[in-house]
Amino acid sequence: MDIRPVKHTDEDEWVRLRMALWPDADPDEFREEFPAYLEGGDRRLHCVVVERPDGRLGGLMELSLRLQAEGCLGSPVAYIENWYVDEDLRRQGLARRMLESAARWARHRGCAEIASSCVLDNTTALQVHEALGFEEVDRLVHFVYELPVEG
Protein backbone atom coordinates (compact mmCIF):
# COMPACT_ATOMS: atom_id res chain seq x y z
CA MET A 1 0.00 0.00 0.00
CA ASP A 2 1.21 3.47 -0.87
CA ILE A 3 1.64 6.31 1.60
CA ARG A 4 1.30 9.60 -0.26
CA PRO A 5 -0.05 13.15 0.02
CA VAL A 6 -3.79 13.51 -0.43
CA LYS A 7 -4.91 14.53 -3.94
CA HIS A 8 -8.02 16.02 -5.55
CA THR A 9 -9.52 12.66 -6.49
CA ASP A 10 -9.45 11.52 -2.85
CA GLU A 11 -12.14 13.88 -1.60
CA ASP A 12 -14.95 11.34 -1.09
CA GLU A 13 -12.67 8.82 0.63
CA TRP A 14 -11.04 11.56 2.72
CA VAL A 15 -14.49 12.66 3.91
CA ARG A 16 -15.34 9.00 4.70
CA LEU A 17 -12.22 8.69 6.87
CA ARG A 18 -12.93 11.99 8.59
CA MET A 19 -16.49 10.84 9.32
CA ALA A 20 -15.08 7.65 10.88
CA LEU A 21 -13.22 9.92 13.31
CA TRP A 22 -16.02 12.42 13.84
CA PRO A 23 -19.35 10.62 13.11
CA ASP A 24 -21.48 13.54 14.36
CA ALA A 25 -19.77 16.08 12.12
CA ASP A 26 -21.19 17.68 8.99
CA PRO A 27 -19.56 16.15 5.89
CA ASP A 28 -20.20 19.37 3.95
CA GLU A 29 -17.97 21.24 6.39
CA PHE A 30 -15.25 18.66 5.79
CA ARG A 31 -15.62 19.19 2.03
CA GLU A 32 -15.08 22.91 2.57
CA GLU A 33 -11.83 22.16 4.45
CA PHE A 34 -10.51 19.66 1.91
CA PRO A 35 -8.77 22.08 -0.52
CA ALA A 36 -6.56 23.43 2.27
CA TYR A 37 -4.89 20.01 2.60
CA LEU A 38 -4.04 19.68 -1.09
CA GLU A 39 -0.66 20.54 -2.59
CA GLY A 40 -0.74 24.27 -3.18
CA GLY A 41 -3.44 24.76 -0.53
CA ASP A 42 -2.58 26.07 2.93
CA ARG A 43 1.19 25.62 3.33
CA ARG A 44 0.70 25.13 7.10
CA LEU A 45 -1.45 22.01 6.56
CA HIS A 46 -0.55 18.60 5.20
CA CYS A 47 -2.30 15.25 4.85
CA VAL A 48 -0.81 11.88 4.03
CA VAL A 49 -3.04 8.96 3.18
CA VAL A 50 -2.84 5.21 2.84
CA GLU A 51 -3.86 4.18 -0.66
CA ARG A 52 -5.28 0.67 -1.02
CA PRO A 53 -4.44 -1.35 -4.16
CA ASP A 54 -7.94 -0.60 -5.54
CA GLY A 55 -7.43 3.17 -5.17
CA ARG A 56 -9.63 3.63 -2.11
CA LEU A 57 -8.07 5.12 1.02
CA GLY A 58 -7.40 3.20 4.19
CA GLY A 59 -6.05 5.86 6.50
CA LEU A 60 -5.03 9.46 6.94
CA MET A 61 -2.72 11.61 9.02
CA GLU A 62 -3.35 15.35 9.00
CA LEU A 63 -0.76 17.78 10.27
CA SER A 64 -0.51 21.46 10.93
CA LEU A 65 2.36 23.77 11.73
CA ARG A 66 2.04 25.37 15.16
CA LEU A 67 4.26 27.93 16.83
CA GLN A 68 4.40 25.77 19.97
CA ALA A 69 3.05 22.60 21.52
CA GLU A 70 3.12 21.13 25.01
CA GLY A 71 6.50 19.57 25.81
CA CYS A 72 8.20 20.83 22.64
CA LEU A 73 11.28 23.03 22.77
CA GLY A 74 11.49 24.25 19.19
CA SER A 75 9.34 26.28 16.86
CA PRO A 76 7.63 25.63 14.56
CA VAL A 77 6.18 22.28 15.61
CA ALA A 78 4.39 19.83 13.33
CA TYR A 79 1.21 18.75 15.09
CA ILE A 80 -0.86 15.69 14.25
CA GLU A 81 -4.41 17.02 14.20
CA ASN A 82 -6.20 13.90 12.95
CA TRP A 83 -4.99 10.33 12.54
CA TYR A 84 -7.00 7.32 11.50
CA VAL A 85 -6.48 3.87 9.98
CA ASP A 86 -9.40 1.65 8.93
CA GLU A 87 -9.79 -1.29 11.30
CA ASP A 88 -9.02 -3.91 8.63
CA LEU A 89 -5.61 -2.31 8.00
CA ARG A 90 -4.45 -1.83 11.57
CA ARG A 91 -1.34 -3.55 13.00
CA GLN A 92 0.38 -3.62 9.59
CA GLY A 93 2.89 -0.82 10.12
CA LEU A 94 0.89 1.81 8.24
CA ALA A 95 0.83 4.29 11.14
CA ARG A 96 4.64 4.15 11.27
CA ARG A 97 4.89 4.69 7.53
CA MET A 98 2.51 7.67 7.70
CA LEU A 99 4.58 9.10 10.57
CA GLU A 100 7.79 8.70 8.54
CA SER A 101 6.19 10.56 5.63
CA ALA A 102 4.92 13.26 8.00
CA ALA A 103 8.42 13.57 9.49
CA ARG A 104 9.89 14.32 6.04
CA TRP A 105 7.28 17.06 5.54
CA ALA A 106 7.97 18.47 9.02
CA ARG A 107 11.76 18.51 8.58
CA HIS A 108 11.37 20.29 5.25
CA ARG A 109 9.52 23.05 7.13
CA GLY A 110 12.14 23.49 9.83
CA CYS A 111 10.56 21.36 12.54
CA ALA A 112 12.59 19.30 14.98
CA GLU A 113 9.55 17.70 16.66
CA ILE A 114 6.12 16.31 15.91
CA ALA A 115 3.51 16.63 18.65
CA SER A 116 0.18 14.90 19.03
CA SER A 117 -2.59 14.31 21.52
CA CYS A 118 -5.49 11.98 22.22
CA VAL A 119 -8.22 11.67 24.78
CA LEU A 120 -7.32 9.68 27.87
CA ASP A 121 -9.81 6.86 27.29
CA ASN A 122 -8.60 6.17 23.73
CA THR A 123 -6.35 3.30 24.71
CA THR A 124 -5.68 2.34 21.09
CA ALA A 125 -4.33 5.80 20.29
CA LEU A 126 -2.25 5.83 23.48
CA GLN A 127 -0.72 2.45 22.60
CA VAL A 128 0.04 3.48 19.01
CA HIS A 129 1.73 6.69 20.14
CA GLU A 130 3.87 4.79 22.65
CA ALA A 131 4.75 2.05 20.15
CA LEU A 132 5.93 4.65 17.65
CA GLY A 133 8.20 6.36 20.17
CA PHE A 134 6.11 9.34 21.26
CA GLU A 135 6.83 10.45 24.82
CA GLU A 136 3.93 11.45 27.04
CA VAL A 137 4.66 14.95 28.35
CA ASP A 138 1.44 16.11 30.02
CA ARG A 139 -2.19 15.32 30.82
CA LEU A 140 -4.91 17.96 30.70
CA VAL A 141 -8.49 18.27 31.80
CA HIS A 142 -10.47 20.77 29.75
CA PHE A 143 -13.22 22.89 31.30
CA VAL A 144 -15.94 25.16 29.96
CA TYR A 145 -17.65 27.92 31.85
CA GLU A 146 -20.89 28.93 30.17
CA LEU A 147 -21.50 32.66 30.51
CA PRO A 148 -24.84 33.52 32.06
CA VAL A 149 -27.24 35.41 29.83
CA GLU A 150 -27.37 39.06 30.83
CA GLY A 151 -30.76 40.31 31.57
Rounded to an integer, the average pLDDT of 9-18 is 96
- The tens digit of pLDDT for each residue in 32-91 reads 999 999 987 788 999 999 999 999 999 999 999 998 888 889 899 999 999 999 999 999
Q: How far apart are CA 45 and CA 102, in angstroms?
A: 11
pTM beyond 0.85: the answer is yes
Determine the pLDDT at residue 41: 77
Binned at pLDDT 50, 70 and 90, residue 119 comes out as: confident
* Domains located in the chain, CATH noted: 2-131 (3.40.630.30)
Nearest-CA neighbor of 81 among 18, 31, 144?
A: 18
- The mean of the pLDDT values for the chain is 92
Determine the pLDDT at residue 45: 92
Determine the pLDDT at residue 96: 94
Q: How far apart are CA 2 and CA 98, in angstroms?
A: 10
In what order do the strands lie in the sheet containing 77-85?
A: 2-5, 45-51, 57-66, 77-85, 114-115
SS (H, E, C) the chain: CEEEECCHHHHHHHHHHHHHHCCCCCHHHHHHHHHHHCCCCCCCEEEEEEECCCCCEEEEEEEEEECCCCCCCCCCEEEEEEEEECHHHCCCCHHHHHHHHHHHHHHHCCCCCEECCCCCCCHHHHHHHHHCCCCCCCCCCCCCCCCCCCC
CA distances from 94 to 33, 46, 87 (A): 24, 17, 12
- The tens digit of pLDDT for each residue in 102-115 reads 999 999 999 999 99
Rounded to an integer, the average pLDDT of 120-142 is 89
